[in-house]
A and B are shown apart, each in its own frame.
Chain A
Amino acid sequence: MTDRDAQPLLSLSKISKRYGGVRALEDVDFSCSAGSIHAILGENGAGKSTLIKIMSGVVQPDTGSMTLTGTPRRFLSPAEANAAGVVCVFQELSLMPDLSVADNISIVGPPTRLGLIDAKAQRRRAEELLASIGCEDVNPLLNVRDLPLSRRQMVEIAKALGKKPQLLILDEATSALTNSDVATIYEVLKRLRREGLSILYISHRMHEIEELADRASVFRNGRHIETFPMGRYGHGEIVELMIGREISAQYPPKVKRERPAPLFEVKKLTWENRLRAVDLSIGKGEIVGLGGLDGQGQKELLLALFGVLKGVTGEVTLDGKPALPGSPAEAKAPSRRIALIPEDRKTEGLMLPMSIAENLCSASLDALSTGPFIDRTKEEVAITDAIKRLQIKIGSPGDAVATLSGGNQQKVVIAKWLMTNPRVILLNDPTRGIDVGTKQEIYALLRQLADKGAAILFYSTDYDELIGCCDRVAVMYDGAIKVELEGDGITEQALIASALNIDAGAAARSGHGVHG
């Protein structure tokens, strides 16, 4: 628990950043000191990732300034930041899959002899760095492409350490690691702290932060709320800082009623080793949430139900009739009318350069056409309706959808599927990276759709949403549904306990009250 506020290594002053209309950071003052592990806490969209992107030169702030060991600095590229000793291990991996581990670790400034890369020295360097993080089992000759995700993440960390950082930023760097890796990384990080490094640690796992960090900063809605030494607050208080107090009001009221008869039923759904006999049923007019830690099979479940995965076994029925689709085209066919709002709207939900109108119609062209021809009158009416119904703010429907803000883009994705008049709606984290106003509109819309008789399956990484929106929540763990929470039983405590697959009472006592 060192406290070296006197001499910050890196400090930010009055930093603001906007993306389009969305405020990512607002007037942030922040500093971190040498010889400390500093946790950064906040919900998704709190501004954590923008903060570290600014520190590591990936994006430039709109306003504000940054000083490193007292000198004003401005990093125009990650390379500049690295040269100054600020190194970030990003969530999205920065490795080149077709190059070897050794190549990747020494990708910048490799050891050379006579001007040529010295492969032997480079390999030794890789071996040393990998050994220093307990990763001797990775052969530096292997291509990164051939490594499992957990090994890639370790290589990424080795690469970062090879740059001799003064400030090391780890952004969810442990999310794919095995337990033994995590233990090794803890030791490495503690050693580095002793050696005087400053480490910024971003994780959604509270116990990691408890074990490692000596200080923590909480961010919310792009603002720096508070920085405090670990141990000052209990978990409950930290969670309150992260959530703020203005929650519950933004969700439409849930109506207590009898559980409706099942409309969409899933039995023993299995795929590879990612889905293990999933049982689930959704009634007409019900919103069922999918909870759990990221990567427990939630995305795969949605894709399987939409016909994207090959080799799915099990039974899916809609209104008692078999309904497991073999492709998205079958999923949306009139006999099923299943819709999926995909994970990544930019690559899976939209054709960005195409017009808003074309995107809106892309899932319902069959209904809008006579024979092979698109019926322009029908199309126009449908587009006007959709835009009005979702209150999408646009200039003209002929504009490229890329010109819209994130929230409006997501509305286009949702509107596109509503035009197919779906009976089952699958949503994969639909509010990620979207402003609060649009989020509220989406929540209201989902409730409205349910009231009109749709069955909705809603995966979210945001526990608040699950609590606020869902009639029931099915929590997944390791490819199966472990617990179903219902009505007042949907609490943060219960969600987290079941996500970690532990007993709720124990979780309440130890208070793993952090969510993402």
Chain B
Amino acid sequence: MTAATLKPRRFALAADDKPIVIASAFIVVLLMIGTGYTLATQGTMTLLSPNYLLQQLQIGAFLGVVAAGMMLVILIGHIDLSVAWTLAAAAMMATTVGGAWAIPTGLAVGLTVGVINGLGVAYLRVPSMIFTLGVNAVMRGLMVAHTGGFAPQTAATDLMRFLAAERIAGIPMAIFVWLGVSVVIAIVLKRTVFGRTIYAIGNREAAAYLAGMHTRGVIITAFAACGMLAGLAGVLLAGYSTKAYQGMGDAYVLPAIAAVVIGGTNILGGRGKYLGTVVGVILIVLLNSVLSIMQMPEAGRQIIYGVVIISMLLVYGRNQRVTS
């Protein structure tokens, strides 16, 4: 065993790359289909114009930030259904506070909710599905109480708008934010003790605990990060729409889970690469945009959306651990 033979395959399960390759190929196919359609109907290649693609990535950034957090939680074998109202609460509190403290407030709201989720799951060992569902309902109730159920009148701060909607050198700032989050998460998962512990917990929590890993702390931190990223997405989304609104997070929960799973992360935890989640997000955003270019009615979009998830998983998800 020499260092030379050690290097190339280290920690890289070939099985982890397959979903990423297939999903990427599907993205190319989507672009081709969409472009073929626009060429045939309008004689243009709208879909391939850099500007259009950047715009799609900008929209994808919000989902991407949520999915990054969701992935951490799914990797430890849990799920966070509270991101919908965590996101909305962060946006509403950020716009309410306003000024320089707007963004820190939004992030703090997300962090707090995440820590509560983590405590419930790590200490009370309540199934995360139901605990986060309860927390989601509570957050919704609190926000409705806070706003009186109406659209909040407060507006996003300039900085929020800048981060979400402005461009630098023609590239939307939101993409930079997503990129920043992605780099951090990718490094954390791949290079840090925390990341390694996340995978270990997702594979076999008992073994991770007996290896002397700080399992509870890592579970709480993963939920906290997920909450904080949902908060960040809320801040960005409020900046993009210039204000917060009721139910603004509802459209992000299930797509975020879908993006993570399409990217090859095992829904039961323990396996998956961050790159896959990015690919999953892009796939979902592009699928939506191609369908809207083709003026597909909502009905067809939903059906195709479901069929795509199922077929992707049938192609590469069959080797997943079967329950028990």
Is there any pair of Cβ atoms, one from A and one from B, under 8 angstroms apart in the complex?
yes
Stretch at the interface among A121-129, A290-298, A346-354, A453-461: A346-354
Residue A141, interface by CB 8 Å: no
A residues near B211, Cβ cutoff 8 Å: 328, 362-363, 416
Task: Point out the residues of chain A lying under 8 angstroms from B197, CB to CB.
Answer: 365
Structural contact, B193 and A366, CB atoms closer than 8 A: yes
Given contacts A329-B213, A384-B3, whether A350 and B196 have CB atoms under 8 Å apart is no
A399's closest neighbor in chain B, by CB? Answer: B9
- Chain A positions within 8 Å of B129 at CB level: none
Within 8 A of A (CB), among B192-235: 192-194, 196-197, 199-200, 203-204, 206-214
Asked whether, in the complex, the Cβ of A351 is within 8 Å of the Cβ of B270, the reply is: yes
A396 close to chain B: CB less than 8 A: yes
> Does residue B5 face the partner (Cβ distance < 8 Å to A)?
yes
Q: What residue in chain B is nearest A381 (Cβ atoms)?
A: B3
B213 touches A398 (CB 8 A): no
Counting chain A CB atoms within 10 Å of each CB, the highest count among B1, B207, B213, B270 belongs to B207
Which residue of chain B lies nearest to A398 when distances are taken between CB atoms in the complex?
B9
Pick the contact of A380 from B6, B200, B208, B210 — CB < 8 Å?
B6
Q: Do B1 and A352 have beta carbons less than 8 Å apart?
A: no
A354-B200, A374-B193 are contacts. A380–B3 as well, Cβ < 8 Å?
Answer: yes
Tell yes or no: A145 within 8 A of B by CB: no
- Indicate with 1 or 0, residue by residue over B268-308, a CB within 8 angstroms of chain A CB atoms: 00110000000000000000000000000000000000000
Instruction: Check A308 for interface membership: any CB of B closer than 8 A.
Output: yes
User: Which among B196, B208, B271 has the greatest number of chain A C-beta atoms within 10 A?
Assistant: B196
Smallest CB separation, B66 vs chain A (Å):
24
Choice from A358, A363, A383 contacting B199 with Cβ under 8 Å: A358
Q: Is the CB of B209 within 8 A of A328?
A: yes
CA distance A376 to B10 in the complex (A): 11
A177 at interface, CB cutoff 8 A: no
* Minimum CB–CB distance for A417 against chain B, Å: 9
Kindly name the residue among B7, B208, B212, B213 whose own CB sees the greatest number of chain A CB atoms within 10 A: B212
**Alpha-carbon distance A361/B12, docked complex (angstroms):** 16
- Contact between B208 and A351, CB atoms less than 8 A apart: yes
Does B125 count as interface, using CB distance less than 8 angstroms?
Answer: no
The count of residues in chain A whose C-beta lies closer than 8 Å to any C-beta of chain B is 43
Interface flag for A387 (CB, 8 Å): yes
A155 CA to B27 CA, complexed, in Å: 57
Bound-complex Cα distance A398 to B213 (A):
21
Chain A contacts of B126 at CB under 8 A?
Answer: none
Q: Is B315 part of the contact surface with A, judged by Cβ < 8 Å?
A: no
A340 to B206, CA, bound (A): 13
A383 CB contacts on chain B under 8 angstroms: 6
A372-B194, A398-B11 known; A353 and B270 CB under 8 Å? yes
User: In whole Å, how far is B269's beta carbon from the nearest beta carbon of chain A?
Assistant: 10
Q: Which residues of A contact B212 (CB under 8 A)?
A: 327-329, 331-333, 363
B254 at interface (Cβ–Cβ under 8 A)? no
A348:B207 contact, CB within 8 angstroms: yes
- A131–B271 CA distance with the chains assembled, in angstroms: 50
Q: Which residues of A contact B318 (CB under 8 A)?
A: none
Nearest residue in A to B12 (C-beta to C-beta)? A398
A342 in the interface (beta carbon within 8 A): yes
A-B contact pairs, 14 of them (CB 8 A): A308-B210, A342-B207, A351-B208, A353-B203, A353-B271, A354-B199, A354-B200, A357-B11, A372-B193, A374-B192, A374-B193, A380-B3, A397-B10, A398-B13
Interface residues in chain B, defined as those with a beta carbon under 8 Å from any beta carbon in chain A: 1, 3, 5-7, 9-13, 191-194, 196-197, 199-200, 203-204, 206-214, 270-271, 321
A interface vs B, CB < 8 Å? 306, 308, 327-329, 331-333, 340, 342, 347-355, 357-358, 361-363, 365-366, 369, 372-374, 376, 380, 383-384, 387-388, 394, 396-400, 416
